[in-house]
């Protein structure tokens, strides 16, 4: 292991988030990753959330996705919404 990797190896993630394209920001990137995971079976709703809370979350998420023109995430949100009704 070189001195460079010892000193700067732990900063790779910080460098990545501080140097994303100007079009993207951290919140949008996090939102996209969070919604994309809903395509898989690796996630679940919080136990304390009832149907109304789930639907409100999906409505708020859909509004954000539409505003930011994240159409793939809109489709995912609509698919998840259909499983709740």
Give the DSSP letter of residue 23.
Answer: T
- Look at residue 7 in the predicted model and tell me its pLDDT: 47
The full set of domain ranges for the chain reads 25-84
pTM over 0.95: no
Q: Can you give the pLDDT of all 85 residues of the chain as single tens digits? A: 555 444 445 444 444 555 555 555 888 999 999 999 999 999 999 999 999 999 999 999 999 999 999 999 999 999 999 999 7
- b/e string for 42-60 if b means 16 or more Cβ within 10 A? eeeeeeeeeeeebeebbee
CA–CA distance, 83 with 55 (Å, rounded to integer): 11
For the chain, the C-alpha Rg in angstroms (whole number) is 17
CA–CA distance, 53 with 27 (Å, rounded to integer): 21
């Amino acid at each position: 292991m070189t001195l460079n990797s010892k000193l700067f190896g732990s900063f790779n993630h910080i460098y990545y988030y501080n140097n994303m394209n100007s079009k993207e920001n951290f919140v949008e990137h996090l939102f996209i990753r969070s919604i994309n995971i809903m395509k898989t079976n690796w996630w679940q709703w919080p136990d304390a959330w009832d149907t109304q809370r789930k639907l409100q979350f999906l409505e708020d998420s859909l509004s954000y996705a539409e505003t930011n023109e994240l159409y793939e995430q809109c489709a995912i949100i609509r698919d998840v919404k259909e499983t709740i009704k």
